[in-house]
Amino acid sequence: MTVTSKLSLAGAVGVLLGALSLEPVFVNLSWLLPVVLVLAAILALSLGIRRVPGLAPWAPLFEMAGAMLVLTALFASGRAFLGFVPTWASVADMRVLLADAGYAVRTQVSPAQTLDELLFLAAIGVGVVAVAVDILAVSLRRPAVAGLALLVLYAIPTASLVEGIPWWPFVGAAVGYLLLLFVDGRETMLRWGRRADDGPSTPTFGLLASQRIGALAIAAGLALPLLIPSLPSGILRTVGNGIGDGPGTSLNPLATLAGDLTLPEPVDLLRVETNVDDPYYLRAVSLETYTDQGWAPGNLDGTFDANEGDLLGPPEGSPTRRVQAQIEVLDQDSRFLSTYYSTRDIDSEGDWRFDEISGTVWSENDRTGGLTYSVEADEPVPTVDDLENADDLDSDDQVQRRFTDLPPLVRPEVATLVQNLTDNAEGPYARTIAIMDFFTDPANRFIYSLSTEPGTSGDKLVDFLTNRRGYCEQYAAAMGVMLRFANVPARVVLGYTPGDKNAGQWTVTTDDAHAWVEAYFEGIGWVPFDPTPLGGGRGVESPWAPRVDSEASNPTSTGPNPSGTATGQAPTGVLEPNIPIGPDSNAGGTDSGLLNPVATLIWLAVALVVG
């Protein structure tokens, strides 16, 4: 095999190893096949064209043409000549895919759904990197510079995952780079100083040593972060990313909610069977901390094993009903396990922890993908009389202090609005209903829409309360803040509405992603309230939280996944809700298990280089 062929092969293998860093960016490995096919076409043309005299300088152009044929066959075959030769129509289809990919990048969070447009983008990106590596390493014989192109692949998960990335994407990119250097260096060393009467070439001691040095460098890169002492808990804490002593939540829950609701087509997430005909919402995670940046999860405690059962429930004597459910995960990858409130027992594979304060079931290392698990919960079913008889908690009560906490920067207009709404309300339940009625009364003309009106107040909460246009995130966040102003302990909860029932099973999709509010009442515990004017029959109206004039038609955008085209003008001169929900950031999570198949492949590559 010629030096050129060896470099071409090493470059392709290096790009493939670097591309494996995309694994934590997607929910499954559907992206791998188109990437491998594009790489195979580029490699085949790199090897073949350079064997033809006079065509070697043009090899990159042939490689790009070959990649285009593969992309056309995979993503735009319907209007291509013979199913793989590009036409103007097929090119137009691919331009649409690129535009859709740009939208998906803005709305999806890692791990992202394997949408066609994102697979197309991944295949194009890896193809461009492969051609760039071929030009630098083979045509120009600058393999060291080719490492910059490989760095692009490693930068993708680095930029898109909030909590950091596992070890094996680093190893993949590093091994790919070292492989290029090794092949080039080996040929250089074998040629250096060779005499005509030299016998068959064999690797020198220095060459073998370089392999081991490369392996040690990779090992050092993995080990050093473990040896550097970490900051004590609480120092430089990023609101919304912490879960106990672990590395942080696997996703920005609010970004995930927005990404689910803006998918072009709904994706089936869960299949649920329950012992009740009217299940309430599935909880994923609660947000208990409100700052000037919005709502965020608190630090989750990992002390209690959710699979051991006998989890902390509502106060003794609280009216509840036992809900039992079998939940099959269809297409979801999360560190938060969807359950019913209040969860008493979980039966699931993996190490799932129960946080008593938030009622969240979560894992530091495991994810929901592929799980089938059972849940037992004591769902609260208070009567109106029960809630009306609940008194305010003592001012020094831990729940009261923790869940009425507000930052001093919240605008005084919000406090004034709450005061006006609750002036004549006696007791925490009456104040809660007064605030909820503000959102659900059709006379106030709140609009459910995934687009919000731009505000002029300089404060997102005040803007929403003025413009009265938004989706569940804004409604729940606004009501949560207003309840705290009214001295009612409150938190925001993210999860899913029940979904659609068919043949005794409930199917929960991305369209069912939802946010609502829970308020705490003495002797009863946490009780859900949903202020969002949902359309499409998605919401559940609780007996203790009836909507004002339920029969009236609320001004909402149509369909279960509104596009923001609803019409209607908010009244002027009265404060109305528009709220920030949290910092805008992407998120994701990763599985760092040693038995990960991608990790295994990388270790095999390491062994080949070292050996």
Most confident stretch, 76-85, 337-346, 426-435, 437-446: 426-435
Ramachandran angles phi, psi of 45, nearest 5°: -70, -35
- Write down the pLDDT at residue 376: 93
Confidence band (pLDDT; 50, 70, 90) for 504? Answer: confident
pLDDT per residue as tens digits for the range 203-218:
444 444 444 544 544 4
Mean predicted confidence (pLDDT) in 431-459: 77
**pLDDT of 471 above 70:** yes
pLDDT attached to residue 262: 58
pLDDT recorded at residue 407: 81
Q: Given a cut of 50, is residue 590 above it in pLDDT?
A: no
pLDDT at 328 over 70: yes
**CA dihedral of residues 297, 301, 302, 303 (deg, nearest 10):** -160
User: In three state form, how does the secondary structure of 134-145 look?
Assistant: HHHHHHCCCHHH
Neighbours of 574 (CB within 10 A): 12
Per-residue pLDDT band at 263 (split at 50, 70, 90): low
* Confidence label for 187 from pLDDT (cuts 50, 70 and 90): low
Picking from 205, 527, 539, the residue whose alpha carbon sits closest to that of residue 380 is 527
pLDDT at 589 over 60: no
What sign for the dihedral angle of Cα 339, 340, 343, 346? negative
Mean pLDDT, rounded, of the chain: 74
Q: Is the pLDDT of residue 586 over 80?
A: no
Among 92-96, 474-478, 552-556, the minimum mean pLDDT is found in 552-556
Which segments of 474-593 are extended strands (E)?
A: 490-496, 500-502, 505-509, 513-521, 525-529
Q: Are 109 and 252 in contact (CB under 8 A)?
A: yes
Mean pLDDT over 510-517 rounds to: 89
Q: In this predicted structure, what is the pLDDT of residue 464?
A: 83
Listed range (105-109, 381-385, 448-452, 457-461) with the worst mean pLDDT: 105-109
Higher pLDDT, 537 or 293: 293
Of 144 and 75, the structure prediction assigns the larger pLDDT to 75
Neighbours of 408 (CB within 10 A): 5
CA pair distance 519, 331, nearest whole angstrom: 31
The residue with greater pLDDT, 582 or 252, is: 252
Among positive and negative, which fits the CA dihedral 238, 242, 245, 246? negative
Q: How many CB atoms lie within 10 A of CB 585?
A: 15
Percent of the chain beyond pLDDT 70? Answer: 68
- The mean pLDDT of 490-504, rounded to a whole number, is 91
What residue spans of 76-163 are helical by DSSP H? 88-107, 116-134, 143-160
pLDDT in tens, 332-378: 888 899 999 888 999 999 999 998 888 899 887 788 889 999 999 99
Is cis: bond before 297, omega within 30 of 0? no
Whether residue 383 has pLDDT greater than 90: yes
Percent of the chain whose predicted confidence (pLDDT) is above 90: 25
Least confident segment among 79-83, 234-238, 313-317, 354-358: 234-238
Better-predicted residue by pLDDT, 137 or 121: 121
Give 576's pLDDT tier (boundaries 50, 70, 90).
Answer: very low
Instruction: Write phi, then psi, for 55 (nearest 5 degrees).
Output: -100, -10
User: Distance between CA 113 and CA 99 in Å, rounded?
Assistant: 17
Q: Which of helix, strand or coil describes residue 573?
A: coil
Residue 308 pLDDT exceeds 80: yes
pLDDT at 159: 61
| Distance from C-alpha of 133 to C-alpha of 156, rounded to nearest angstrom | 17
The reported pLDDT for the residue numbered 604 is 47
Which has more pLDDT, 469 or 374?
Answer: 374
When mean pLDDT is compared across 64-68, 404-408, 421-425, the lowest value belongs to: 404-408
The pLDDT value recorded for residue 235 is 27
Predicted model pTM: 0.55
Which residue is it, tokens 């020094």?
Answer: 396
- 425/8 Cα distance (integer angstroms): 76
pLDDT of residue 116: 83
Q: CA 64, CA 42: separation in Å to the nearest integer?
A: 7
The residue among 400 and 209 whose pLDDT is bigger is 400
The pLDDT assigned to 525 comes to: 92
CA–CA distances in Å: residue 229 to residues 37, 162, 226, 232, 305: 43, 20, 8, 9, 28
Alpha-carbon span 42 to 138, nearest angstrom: 13
SS3 529: strand
Contact 347, 372 (CB under 8 A): no
Q: Is the pLDDT of residue 250 over 80?
A: no
Do 288 and 358 meet the contact criterion of CB atoms below 8 Å apart?
yes
pLDDT at res. 578: 34
Determine the residue type at 12.
A
